[in-house]
Amino acid sequence: MLVDLEDRMLWKETKSGEFSVKSLYGALETRNATLFSWNIMWNLFVSSKGGFFTWEASWGKVLTLDQLKRRGWIVANRCFLCPVEEESIDHFLIHCSKAKVLWELIFALFGVTWVLPSSVKETLLGWNGSFVGKKHQKVWKVAPLCLFWTIWKERNRITFENEEFLVQKLKISFICNYWSWAKLFIDVGLLSLINHFDWLGSK
């Protein structure tokens, strides 16, 4: 559905390659996407790239090393982040010890305890924000999408630019991304980074 050529995204559901909401809904219907609750669909538009990536990840379409192997490529499969386990989409977005650092950060920000399910799709389906209160519900829903996108960007930075993995850098990227994504959904006007996280902790 989507081709990621470095930083250029091509949407394959329209002839022109340009994204439209109508074409996304069409694609969802034809792929029997009713498993997804419609109330998370708006999240897909938070950041078009982040939204697309989440969509692809939840359907196992992202070209991780396990997918490349399945297609006949001869590659040593090691997660770029840990690097202990084999890389798969569910590993590096959910189960990897490095990803867990970000999940724990989210749970700490919202003051919740949460048991993550085994897959990206189940995580999104079960990401119910009723207990965080109406005020924080939208930014709660944005959180996993932002986490997925941040890890994916970090993974590619390490893979293609031969950069070293630093957990502190991952956390800072997430905080900055999350601040810029979440502020689109906060009604109290522009908040500084510090005020933003104060607001998250407020009742």
Footprint of Zn ion on this chain (CB under 5 A)?
A: 79, 81-82, 85, 96
Residue 181, sorted as left (phi over 0), alpha (psi -120 to 50) or beta, turns out to be alpha
Q: How far is CA 142 from the centre of its chain?
A: 9
Helices (H), the chain: 21-30, 48-58, 65-70, 89-90, 97-110, 120-125, 134-161, 167-182, 193-201
Least separation in angstroms between CB 186 and Zn ion: 32
CA-CA distance, 203 to 134, in Å (whole number)?
10
Minimum distance from residue 90 beta carbon to Zn ion (Å): 11
Give least dist CB 167 to Zn ion, A. 12
Q: Give the nearest distance from C-beta 79 to Zn ion in angstroms.
A: 3
User: For residues 33 and 82, which CB has a smaller minimum distance to Zn ion in the complex?
Assistant: 82
State the Cα–Cα distance between residues 142 and 166, nearest whole angstrom.
24
Report the SS3 class of residue 11. Answer: strand
Closest distance of CB 203 from Zn ion, Å: 36
CA-wise closest residue to 157 among 144, 172, 145: 172
Nearer to Zn ion, 46 or 79 (CB): 79
SS3 state of residue 119: coil
CB nearer Zn ion, residue 37 or residue 159? 159
Q: How far is 70 from 49, CA to CA, in rounded Å? A: 25
Q: Which is nearer to Zn ion, 44 or 81 (CB)?
A: 81
User: How many Cα atoms within 13 Å fall on the side-chain side of residue 196?
Assistant: 18
CB-wise, 89 or 132, nearer to Zn ion? Answer: 89
Nearer CB in complex with Zn ion: 58/88: 88
CB of 2 to Zn ion, least distance (A): 24
